[in-house]
Amino acid sequence: MNGLRFDGRYCLSSAKLSSRKHRWDCAGVAARIMVAHMAHHGETTPLIEGNGEVSPSDLKDNTSTEESSEEEEAHDEEEERDSDSDTRPRAEHHTASDEPLQSCCEKCRALKNPKFELVTPRKMSRDRLQLQLEAEGVYECSDTGLVFEVSQRVKITYCILSWSKFSTYLTGSWKFAGPIFDVDCDPSILKSVQFPHSLCLAADKENEVKFSVLHVKNSRGLIEPSVDHSGSHVRWNVSSLSPVGPIVQTSKSAEHHGVVQVFKEVGPENSFSFRVYLAGNNCSDIKDIRRAVRRANNCKNNKKYIQVDKPPTCMLEENRRYRLISEPMGHITPEDMLFTPVIVEVKGYFEVFFEESPPFKLSLTDADSGQTVWTATIREGDCVHHIDENPRKPSKGRKRHSSMSEEDLCHKPSKKARGIDVADCNAPAVAPDLTDQQLMQVAKRMGKEWKVVAISCLGLSKQDLEEMEQAEENVTMLKFNMLERWRRRQPKGRAGIQDLHKCLKDNDDVPNEVIAALDEMLQNNSAT
């Protein structure tokens, strides 16, 4: 095979691939992407030539690889806490998009990709997973496509991350090629990790490809070599564990296994408005789409979106423009979109509006050649949605307590009630604040992303975290102090179990155990 050599199970890194010729000026494309990155993320962080390491002087005051981006997102997350979650469409919690999608590429299926023992992880939270591997071997996660090679029995915890937090570590011709993960395990037991990539290696043999991995540790971005790769994975020998993801350099624009995901706006019965996203077929991009939709649902413009389940996979070429067309003709903005290996927030989405009723046929076409790369028909049944019509119902315990108080004070004539002011009668009962013991129960269950939770959910600042870390070293006590600081800053009667539950629910970085503990506290309150 011209340019493809197989070494046992993997294609060597000297493999080549190709893409169709196109007329777009790559320099102009790069300039537009750079402007978009600067607009969304500020200055990018350059790499030191020769060693692939990010210059520490350019990291400014960052003490964590995630804090800066989380601070930028704090306002959005604050809006999420204040939104009316009870009127959110049920379909928002649909989990089909959380998992990697099967590639539609027959060429890549024909490659001799290795097969490993599939194992199903335990879901710790929305994007945090855990595997208990019982013996030495090579195992593939059924949810993410990650492949772990271990030397003995071990427990591995890993989290899907967003490239929006780490893409600024890449400059020049390096591009991310698949999802980025944070893996937690004993590195002496975990010998290698294979990351799924989205490139189509079978497209052609003229495009030189070089895979590596971006390894972010101690607030530095290191570009480390991969061992080898297959048609679906990039293999990396573990040096240490922190955020790691596959990256690639290509001599030409590469073809990717992509996805098209459609979301319908929940509105009046005869309203048909949609968002259509393009992305690479990898967990991080799909996570970013889900996050963008969740934020749209929580904006204070009362718009809600549900996913329309359609076959999503297609082939997308870098630096190529794609046009969305429809039958019947709808209002589509923008007219076309450039597909690039940048974060979903930079690429954006198509907005589609129809004045007629379904069915609607959507087709994604190459803006140059007119070739159709994806098509789907949205029928009437796809536009039926159900909304939970339980606006802000309190828990049974709190409802019973509140109604009893009002009845005792206002509706039952008694000598004690005669002297009570009417305004006092109508005031709702104030819920008690969380106790120190309850806060400690929550703190013990908080995961390693507690700093992210502090900023994005509880409204704390980076300065708050630095002050707490200077005064305390014990991690559990730091988590407790975080919760105590949140409680102290809440208005009177707004630091109860229900209030903390509202702040933490539906957040990717909060472990399920924390929400379960708060649910149990609410149930215990209801019983008393």
Q: Are 73 and 456 in contact (CB under 8 A)?
A: yes
Rg, the chain, Cα only: 26
Contacts 24+ apart (CB under 8 A), 345-351: 345/40, 345/164, 345/288, 345/292, 346/33, 346/36, 346/37, 346/40, 347/277, 347/278, 347/279, 349/275, 349/276, 349/277, 349/278, 349/292, 350/275, 350/276, 350/277, 350/324, 351/273, 351/274, 351/275, 351/276
pTM: predicted TM-score of the whole model, two decimal places: 0.59
**Residue 102 confidence (pLDDT):** 57
Backbone angles phi, psi at 485, to 5 degrees: -65, -40
Whose tokens are 């155990």? That residue is 513
Q: Which helix (H) or strand (E) holds 107?
A: helix 106-110
Instruction: Check if 256-383 and 433-527 are the same fold.
Output: no
- Which residues fall within 8 angstroms of residue 334, CB to CB, at 6 or more apart? 348, 350
DSSP 244-265: EEEEEEESSPPEEEEEEEEEEE
pLDDT at 316: 92
Report the C-alpha gap between 180 and 161 in whole angstroms: 6
Going residue by residue through the chain, which has 528 residues, state the pLDDT in tens, using 9 for 90 and above.
Answer: 333 333 333 333 333 333 333 333 333 433 333 333 433 333 333 333 333 443 333 333 333 444 433 433 343 444 444 443 433 333 333 333 445 555 556 777 666 567 889 999 999 887 889 999 999 999 999 999 999 999 999 999 999 998 888 878 887 788 999 999 999 999 999 999 999 999 988 766 677 889 999 999 887 888 999 999 988 899 999 988 889 999 999 888 888 999 999 999 987 777 899 999 999 998 999 989 998 898 888 776 678 899 999 989 999 998 899 999 999 999 999 999 999 877 777 778 999 999 888 999 999 999 999 999 999 999 988 887 655 444 444 444 444 343 343 334 333 444 333 343 434 334 455 678 899 899 999 999 998 889 989 988 898 888 889 888 888 888 999 999 999 999 988 888 889 998 999 899 878 788 888 988 998 888 887 776
Cα–Cα distance between 223 and 221 in angstroms, integer? 7
The reported pLDDT for the residue numbered 203 is 66
Q: Show me where the domains of the chain are located.
A: 6-84+112-254, 256-383, 403-429, 433-527
Q: Does domain 433-527 have CATH number 3.30.420.40?
A: no
Class of domain 256-383: mainly beta
Show the tokens assigned to 346.
């930079």
| Three-class DSSP category at 148 | strand
